[in-house]
Structure 1
Amino acid sequence: MVFDILSDVWESLTVFNAFISLLCFYFLIRLFSSRGKTPQVATQQQEEEKPRMPPRDFTNEELLEFNGSDPEKPICLAVRGKVFDVTRGKDFYGPGGVYGVFAGHDATRGLANWSTDESDIKDTYDNCSDLTPVQWMEVRDWEGHFMSKYDYVGKLLTPEQAAERTTDDASLKERKELFDKVQSLVKQADEEAMKQLENETKPKDKDT
């Protein structure tokens, strides 16, 4: 009787020890697996923590600078006059990506036609006035996709808007130069007035 009880206890302890061993083995596997994934997670966090591109507007020529060829610059493309930073999707829009031809360009016509053919990718401004209503609906769907997934950076300027911006920049430069010149004249006049005042208030020698 006693022997049977001891035998049952021993079997219970053996099963319990086996269970504890398996549990420890499981946690060790989880621990080493998570360590192996840490660098990948860290890399993903670094990608997400990159600062956003400052808002600005682009001409077609300026947009070409953000075609993914320079790893230090964001990857951008335009859809219906809006420019998006698609760096997060560099596997698709970066060099060698399935949509890499759109990087640094206005992708409107290509997206309207579901085409990555170079004939649908322009380096100069394209108003896409020949697109059909159905094609514009397709473009708007793509625009909504980019708005929801990527950062909106600014506008793609028309040639007229680009010319106005150039004129505004030149006008601003002229106004700044004029302001600096006036400031210089005012400063010079103040200095001369101070010298004259010092001479007038300077004590004169008494006659002996």
Structure 2
Amino acid sequence: MVGGLTSSLTDAIEAYTGLSPVAFFTILCLMFGVYKLVCGIFFVPDDFNSLRSSYIEQLRHSSSSSSPSVPIPEPVQLGDVTEEQLRAYDGSDPNKPLLMAIKSQIYNVSRSRMFYGPGGPYSLFAGRDASRALALLSFEPKDLTGNIEGLSSSELDTLQDWEDKFVEKYVKVGRIITGAKTDDSVNGDDAEENLEQFKEEPSALKQD
């Protein structure tokens, strides 16, 4: 019976393909090998959507696993600053809080320094308004801007999701204004006073 099935299979292969069974299975194995090779070259293990889901889970984990015995100090309000002034809070100075902006609203992300601080996976967002990059789920330098003109409705929805998460998790400490709107009180004594207050915050801020 087995011999009959083998003979029938051999006849079918020759009838439909015009190839001998040996040639047919050789070609089949080669095609499978090429398929695996192409998948190995072009397959991307983490697309941006899964990256965002993973990031949100990491945020929840870091929040739940943080020690309740270490209080998080109430952040000092930075107020109105320019984009250039915000760059000073990118984590390069450990004595300053870690700040990031979405849609011109500045948030204190010091509690997630492992993500946004130097060496973290999202460190390039720190000290900037990263609205466009978040909407596009992009890590391209050209997208590290607060300019959201030309975004599609789905991209704006993505940005809104990010903003909702930041509002829920982080404290808003100021906003970005253009240089034309910056008056002497912002650029002068008031800004310097806010900076000094940030420097004097308890060391517990660094432990976040």
Which TM-score bucket, shorter chain as reference?
A: 0.5 to 0.7
The correspondence of residues 184-203 of structure 1 with structure 2, limited to 5 A, is none
1:80 aligns with 2:100: no
The letter for the 2-side match of 1:131 is L
1:140 corresponds to which residue? 160
Q: Which stretches in structure 1 are left out of the alignment for 5+ residues?
A: 1-40, 173-208
Shift of 1:62: 0.6
2:51 corresponds to which residue? none
Is this contact kept in 1: 2:82–2:177, CA < 8 A?
A: yes
2:87 corresponds to which residue? 64
The letter for the 1-side match of 2:178 is T
Q: Answer 1 or 2: higher relative contact order, Cα 8 Å, separation at least 6.
A: 2
For 1:44 and 1:115, the matched residues in 2 are separated by: 34
Is this contact kept in 2: 1:83–1:154, CA < 8 A?
A: yes
For 1:45 and 1:109, the matched residues in 2 are separated by: 37
Closer, same or farther: CA 159–68 of 1 in aligned 2, 3 Å: same
1:150 aligns with 2:170: yes
For 2:99 and 2:105, the matched residues in 1 are separated by: 10
Identity fraction in percent: 33
The correspondence of residues 88-127 of structure 1 with structure 2, limited to 5 A, is 88-122=111-145, 126-127=146-147
The letter for the 2-side match of 1:63 is L
For 2:162 and 2:179, the matched residues in 1 are separated by: 24
The correspondence of residues 164-183 of structure 1 with structure 2, limited to 5 A, is 165-166=183-184
Is this contact kept in 1: 2:109–2:170, CA < 8 A?
A: yes
Q: Which has the higher helix share?
A: 1
For 1:56 and 1:98, the matched residues in 2 are separated by: 27
For 1:103 and 1:45, the matched residues in 2 are separated by: 27
For 1:62 and 1:145, the matched residues in 2 are separated by: 24
Is this contact kept in 2: 1:93–1:102, CA < 8 A?
A: yes
Q: Secondary structure of 1:57's match?
A: strand
List, as ranges, runs of 4+ consecutive aligned residues in structure 1 with deviation greater than 6 Å: 41-44
**What TM-score comes out, normalization by structure 1 length?**
0.53
Shift of 1:56: 1.0
For 1:77 and 1:103, the matched residues in 2 are separated by: 5
Structure 1 vs Structure 2 CA RMSD:
2.6
The letter for the 2-side match of 1:101 is L
Closer, same or farther: CA 101–45 of 1 in aligned 2, 3 Å: farther
**Which of 1 and 2 has greater Rg?**
1
1:129 aligns with 2:152: no
Is this contact kept in 2: 1:76–1:84, CA < 8 A?
A: yes
**What TM-score comes out, normalization by structure 2 length?**
0.53
Shift of 1:155: 1.1
For 1:169 and 1:92, the matched residues in 2 are separated by: 30
Closer, same or farther: CA 75–44 of 1 in aligned 2, 3 Å: farther
